Structure 1
């Protein structure tokens, strides 16, 4: 055992060694199923990303992150096989919508393949830069796309906020264990 400052004792584990040589460490080899299983245990906020194209496009995202405050940058991932990708790939601006716990059905609509996501009952309007803005969300941003970084069969999109509104009422919608959930008190 090796003593680590302020961490107590840790088992000796050298990078490149196989975990089977360390009793008590259970593991599975990395795979898409392992990654999905691990991230089902990670509660994430739910957002919808939109963009203006010939027709508006949008998709549900749980990969939204705040990247920096100065300048104000966000990031999200999008699959290149997504029906929204061709528009997102060319869009100068995107909308980022933080959903409330009352919007699980809206999240499901924007996650559903082949759905007409902007048809009623979805309420929306054109916002700054013509970006589709969803009504009733907790908060929204319109962001200028500054980078699209290849990441396997996805792209990591980095965008700078140019306008927004954080004044929606309610509590956030979460995604956990493969389902949309509300916070518990």
Structure 2
């Protein structure tokens, strides 16, 4: 189980092992150069700092959406709610109109999905290299939670956490 010195952990082994750790599912949205909405799903989202208010997410270098978000420098991080599996699957795919068929609206000039559990409006503070990804740091300009149960990614699938009442 423990890697021997001089050996390399493979991508599948790392994916499988990290899959044991549940993460929330978020969608990062912005606008492309043509003014059309763009977005991508991330499960590598976390808060970074309370003062100043910073968050981060990781975007694959292979992403065709990330360059648009990076160029705009403004984005929304939307934490998906338990009933938004379809949105998670749509935004996880590459290409196509990811907003077609989904309920959304404009929020301060950025595309916002309806029915999320929370939303953060951010400006891009910085980008750092991270292997086959880039680490994007956003300064939070506005934040709102809506009290909806979150969607969670764990062990290769999408899940809903039991309500606190059900766990008692």
Scaled by the length of structure 2, the TM-score of the pair is 0.88
Task: State the secondary structure of the residue aligned to 2:95.
Answer: coil
Alignment of 1:74 with 2:52, yes or no, is: no
1:136 aligned partner:
115
Q: What TM-score, normalized to structure 1?
A: 0.80
Task: Give me the whole-angstrom Cα distance separating, in 2, the residues matched to 1:118 and 1:151.
Answer: 28
Is 2:105 the partner of 1:125? yes
- Whole-Å Cα distance in 2 between the matches of residues 37 and 70 of structure 1? 34
How many residue pairs get aligned? The number is: 157
The answer as to whether partners of 2:54 and 2:140 remain within 8 angstroms in 1 is yes
Question: What SS does the corresponding residue of 1:102 show, helix, strand or coil?
Answer: coil
If asked which structure has higher relative contact order (CA below 8 Å, sep 6+), I would say 2
Residue 171 of structure 1 deviates from its aligned partner by 0.8
Distance 1:43 1:152 in 2: 22
Please say if 1:162 is aligned against 2:141: yes
Contact kept? 2:70, 2:124, Cα under 8 Å: no
**Which consecutive aligned stretches of 4+ in structure 1 deviate over 4 angstroms post-superposition?**
none
Gapped regions of structure 2 (runs ≥ 5): none
Runs of 5+ consecutive residues of structure 1 not aligned to the other structure: 1-25
RMSD: 1.3
**Are 1:172 and 2:150 matched, yes or no?**
yes
Is the counterpart of residue 56 in structure 1 residue 33 in structure 2?
Answer: no
